[in-house]
Amino acid sequence: MARFHLIQVDSVWEDSAATCAQLDRNFESEKPEAGSLVVMPELFDVGFTMNSARAVEHAETTKAWLATVAKRFSVHVIAGVARRGANGVENRAVFVDTNGNENGSFSKLHGFSLAGENKNYRAGEKPVVWEWNVDGRIVKIAPLICYDLRFPEVFRAALNLGAEAFIVIANWPSTRSEHWNALLKARAIENQALVVAVNRIGSDPTLSYVGESQLINPWGEVICKAGAYQTTLITTFDLSEVATARDRYPFVKDRRL
């Protein structure tokens, strides 16, 4: 049984230290169970800033903090951070194992042009699939970031790599909350996959954020969902349901592309 600890945080604007301190206090009252997958939103530590130089300023400190969390609670962690790549700063999701080692990194494929993200962060090249050990069973999970949700071909490419679950981290605004909910459900149904979505809440100098983090099963049913407030969703899911859904209705097997 997979265990999830989904943190819907109000990120402190461009202040990694303050956000991490806030989360440390949350961890004191809501300790994640060992073996859980702890998920935090896109650019969780600084918010959706277009000042990429500021966003990446404390990348090493944030990296060390994530490693400490993973080791302290014996959990895997997926979190959205800014990282400097070979050709510029990237908006990434990182995957940290229970020993605090960063075993995976994914760069957001689609920069949100309406905010100028495509000019301030370098886009990634392709989807990736990570292996998560759940009680001795290897589960293939694919990370996607916010605006990537609007592009179904990316999810299908990850499916072709063997993805059983999609982890969608975001700074999705309140003004488009209906799109958030509809697209998450569609991605679960069309790929017969688990969708784990973690969005921030609160506001920044430009936007307010909807929250509504949630877990959706391969049938498109919402298993649990948060409101528009700071909270942690703690839940479990039997990932064998993915194989069951795909065997019972061979929609994924019948795809031609």
- CA contacts within 13 A on the Cβ side of 257: 5
Cβ–Cβ < 8 Å for 39, 6: yes
H-helix segments, 130-171: 152-160
**Interatomic CA distance for residues 36 and 74, integer angstroms:** 8
20 is catalytic: no
**Interatomic CA distance for residues 257 and 254, integer angstroms:** 9
Active-site residue, selected from the candidate residues 20, 90, 108, 117:
108
63 is catalytic: no
Active-site residue, selected from the candidate residues 14, 90, 117, 146:
146
Residue labelled with tokens 């697209």: 183
Active-site residue, selected from the candidate residues 42, 90, 117, 164:
42
What torsion do the CA atoms of 65, 68, 74, 80 make, to the nearest 10 degrees? 10
146 is catalytic: yes
Residues with active-site annotation: 42, 108, 146
